[in-house]
Amino acid sequence: MQKGLRFYARRAFWLICLFFICSMFYMASRHGPETNEIGLKDQDEMLIAEYKARQDWRKFRPADQQQNHNLVENRPGEQLSFQPQVPPNINSKSVRFSDLNIVRKVDKVLASKIRNYMVQLPHKLDEGGCMKNTTLAKYWLETHRRVVPVEDSWERFYAGISSCELYNDDRLVDKLLSDMSKLRIKHTAIMEGGTQVKLVLTFENDKQAVFKPMRFGRDYETDPNHFYFGDFERHNAEIATFHLDKILGYRRAVPTVGRVVNMTSELMEVAERRLRKTFFISPAKNRCFVSKCDYYCDTTHAICGSPDLKEGSVQVFLPDDTSVPRKHNKSPYRRTYSKKNQLADWQEDMDYCERKVKHMRQYAHGRRLLDLIDLHLMDYLIGNQDRHHYETFDVFGDIPAYAIHLDNGRSFGKTNFDDADILMPLRQCCLIKPKTLSTLFEYYTADKGLSETLHESLSKDPAFPILAFKHYTALERRLHKMMVYILECMDKQSDITNMVRNEFHNPSVPAPIPGENLESEDEDEDDTANQQNEVQPNQKQPAPPEQQQPDDKEEENARNVLKPPLRQKKDEVQMPAIIQPPPAA
């Protein structure tokens, strides 16, 4: 009897122990994952909230308003992350400028002082901006007895290129922009050279343009740790600069328009083999491609659609060098493009213009120096620090050439930083054209300011809104600072006409002989050290290993150059259907 009780007591004890252990395991198995799941969920929600607070890319707030919405502070040492590629703007609603509450900074005392100087200027200065203006069609007809074809908007644009500006007929340019945004794309190819992704689009009329795909949303800002020569290009910067250049009256920026393309039917299916084999489907089931370029052409920096729609800018090519020659001029206000020696002479010597630039023969006579100042005035407004060279046409004989406003993709990257160094040509040389001064002053003082005029112009683009609206506040702020620098120069003059003029002439420098090539004088000896082992604007970089395909060289040798047949008429200049793009960034 006692043995039986012990047996049952022992069995009961082990059953109780087993039940207790099983209960503990069961509770642990339920409690652990639930806790982890809750923790992960909370962490994901925090990350999503942090991302939305930092990016906030859909709200387009002005910079001064955006500063009041910093929901999450950066941790010590935290660097900016890449913004995920955003979908294209399709059927965006128009936004009234009055609803944006853009703050304009207008100093009435400053404006009054500038106006008092301007009334001292003779009226004849306004008429002498460009002494001899002839178009390419007229010049070739007069000098070579040849007719320029004008069968489509491309050819009409080329025929209208003049010795003073790229175009003067807004209706013609509007038709060109419409064609580039709507015509069927029949072939795509990799654009040779350049640091970032660009494609050559051939349209159904055998005319071509360069396509820059959108990489970031409108509000994405340049990482402050990035050098100007390593910054990403922005497709919308090219579009916005074209419109700003037009409303400033320069008309020297290449026509550019926004377009949303289908990456499958409009790019991949009509692509050359080298480009087509870089397409793939991402883990998110989006159509992507890599292309080939010097810097950001790898899987990490792939261009991806949503799922296969992609927004980009389409920019018309300039005429071929063989038909309309151009010169590649090094700017005297070129930066060092060096990580070690970051400041050039002109950034440290305020007498640089008087001591050197005004004594360079190519700038000592004529309008070249004033054209360069015009270019830097626009660069300051758009925040472009990457102006190392500029192009000029070399086709109009002895008529002075102007600087073409090319390569603006690294603009509109910072809304809270105004680089005063970009204005050094104005601040040091103290020269400005009467028409430029009048235009800037009008936008500064008129009821309808610069940003409102730009907003109305950009609203006509198919990809509107082109800019995050916070850039409008930056434009108004920079325009105000520009007027401050202009007044500083005016106060230094004994005669205001020494500053406000259409041409500059240095009597101590012999005038150039007609036809004399002066461009080589631009080279600076002190740049040689910076060019060694440093990043140069057009320096080729080795491709990542994943791009170095064994059959690339063989395919490159075998590929056909895209030059569609041309119809040559009697006594007609042959304008090529394939034309060279703007210089590689």
Summarize pLDDT for 158-171 with one digit per residue, the tens. 999 999 999 999 99
Domain presence at residue 486: yes
Query: Residue 152's pLDDT is what?
Result: 94
Highest mean pLDDT among 24-28, 347-351, 518-522, 530-534: 347-351
**pLDDT class for 224, splitting at 50, 70, 90?**
confident
Domain presence at residue 355: yes
Number of structural domains in the chain? 1
Element (H, E) at 183: none
Domain presence at residue 413: yes
pLDDT at 549 over 50: no
Q: What is the residue whose two structure tokens read 């793009």?
A: 581
Residues 359 and 508 sit within 8 Å (Cβ to Cβ):
yes
Instruction: Tell me which of 386, 398, 419, 421 is the catalytic residue.
Output: 386
Query: Residue 31's pLDDT is what?
Result: 46
Span 132-159, mean pLDDT?
Answer: 91
**pLDDT class for 128, splitting at 50, 70, 90?**
low
Span 389-407, mean pLDDT?
Answer: 91
Query: Residue 36's pLDDT is what?
Result: 42
Domain presence at residue 385: yes
Span 124-150, mean pLDDT?
Answer: 83
Confirm whether residue 212 is marked as ligand binding. Answer: yes
Which one, of 468, 396, 422, 546, lies nearest residue 240 by Cα?
A: 468
DSSP secondary structure letters along 274-316: HHHTTEEE-TTS-EEE----SSS-SGGG-EE-SSSEEEEEEEE
Side chain identity at residue 71, one-letter code? L
pLDDT at 523 over 70: no
Other Cβ atoms within 10 Å of 184 Cβ, number: 9
Residue 164 burial class via C-beta count within 10 angstroms: exposed 0-12, middle 13-18, buried 19 and up:
buried
Three-class secondary structure of residue 149 per DSSP: coil
**pLDDT class for 293, splitting at 50, 70, 90?**
confident
Preceding amide of 576 cis, omega within 30 = no
Element (H, E) at 79: none
Which one, of 362, 348, 475, lies nearest residue 411 by Cα?
A: 475
Side chain identity at residue 480, one-letter code? H
CA distance 401 to 132: 11
Confirm whether residue 93 is marked as ligand binding. Answer: no
Which one, of 338, 334, 331, lies nearest residue 227 by Cα?
A: 338
Q: Between 70 and 152, whose confidence is greater? A: 152
Span 314-339, mean pLDDT?
Answer: 91
Query: Residue 67's pLDDT is what?
Result: 45
Question: Comparing 361-365, 393-397, 562-566, which segment has the lowest mean pLDDT?
Answer: 562-566
The pLDDT mean for the chain works out to 81
CA distance 406 to 387: 9
pLDDT at 391 over 90: yes
Other Cβ atoms within 10 Å of 440 Cβ, number: 21
Span 249-254, mean pLDDT?
Answer: 96
Query: Residue 2's pLDDT is what?
Result: 54
Confirm whether residue 385 is marked as ligand binding. Answer: no
Other Cβ atoms within 10 Å of 503 Cβ, number: 16
pLDDT at 480 over 80: yes
pLDDT at 131 over 80: no
Other Cβ atoms within 10 Å of 183 Cβ, number: 18
pLDDT digits (tens, 9 = 90+) for 96-123: 998 999 989 899 999 999 999 999 998 7
Tell me how many degrees the CA angle 274-280-282 measures, rounded to the nearest 5.
150
CA distance 252 to 164: 9
Confirm whether residue 310 is marked as ligand binding. Answer: no
Q: Between 10 and 284, whose confidence is greater? A: 284
Domain residues for the domain of 370 are: 326-524
pLDDT at 22 over 90: no
Domain presence at residue 570: no
Is 386 tagged catalytic?
A: yes
pLDDT at 465 over 80: yes
pLDDT at 51 over 90: no
Which one, of 349, 312, 287, 281, lies nearest residue 213 by Cα?
A: 312
Provide the percentage of residues in the chain whose pLDDT is more than 70: 75
Q: Between 66 and 514, whose confidence is greater? A: 514
Residue 175 burial class via C-beta count within 10 angstroms: exposed 0-12, middle 13-18, buried 19 and up:
middle
Encode 224-235: b = buried (16+ Cβ within 10 Å), e = exposed. eeebbbbbbbbb
Reduced DSSP (H G I as helix, E B as strand, rest coil) percent helix, strand, coil of the chain, to 5: 40, 10, 45
Domain presence at residue 137: no
Query: Residue 307's pLDDT is what?
Result: 93
Going through 25-96 in order, the beta strands assigned E by DSSP cover none
To the nearest 10°, the Cα dihedral for 459, 462, 463, 466? -30
pLDDT at 557 over 70: no
Other Cβ atoms within 10 Å of 450 Cβ, number: 23
Q: What is the residue whose two structure tokens read 């992960």?
A: 40
List 303's β-bridge partners, or say none: 289
Residues 476 and 105 sit within 8 Å (Cβ to Cβ):
yes
pLDDT at 489 over 80: yes
Query: Residue 518's pLDDT is what?
Result: 67
Query: Residue 81's pLDDT is what?
Result: 57
* φ and ψ at residue 95, rounded to 5 degrees: -120, 125
Query: Residue 330's pLDDT is what?
Result: 94
Confirm whether residue 407 is marked as ligand binding. Answer: yes
Domain presence at residue 170: no
Span 12-19, mean pLDDT?
Answer: 77
pLDDT at 493 over 50: yes
Query: Residue 430's pLDDT is what?
Result: 98
Question: Comparing 84-93, 214-223, 278-287, 514-523, which segment has the lowest mean pLDDT?
Answer: 514-523
Query: Residue 74's pLDDT is what?
Result: 52
Encode 358-390: b = buried (16+ Cβ within 10 Å), e = exposed. bebbbbbbbbbbbbbbbbbbbbbbbbbbbbbbb
Confirm whether residue 45 is marked as ligand binding. Answer: no
**pLDDT class for 125, splitting at 50, 70, 90?**
low
List 504's β-bridge partners, or say none: 366
pLDDT at 384 over 60: yes
CA distance 89 to 97: 19
Query: Residue 38's pLDDT is what?
Result: 40
CA distance 180 to 386: 27
Element (H, E) at 112: helix 108-118
Query: Residue 428's pLDDT is what?
Result: 98
Domain presence at residue 313: no
pLDDT at 335 over 80: yes
Confirm whether residue 317 is marked as ligand binding. Answer: yes
**pLDDT class for 561, splitting at 50, 70, 90?**
very low
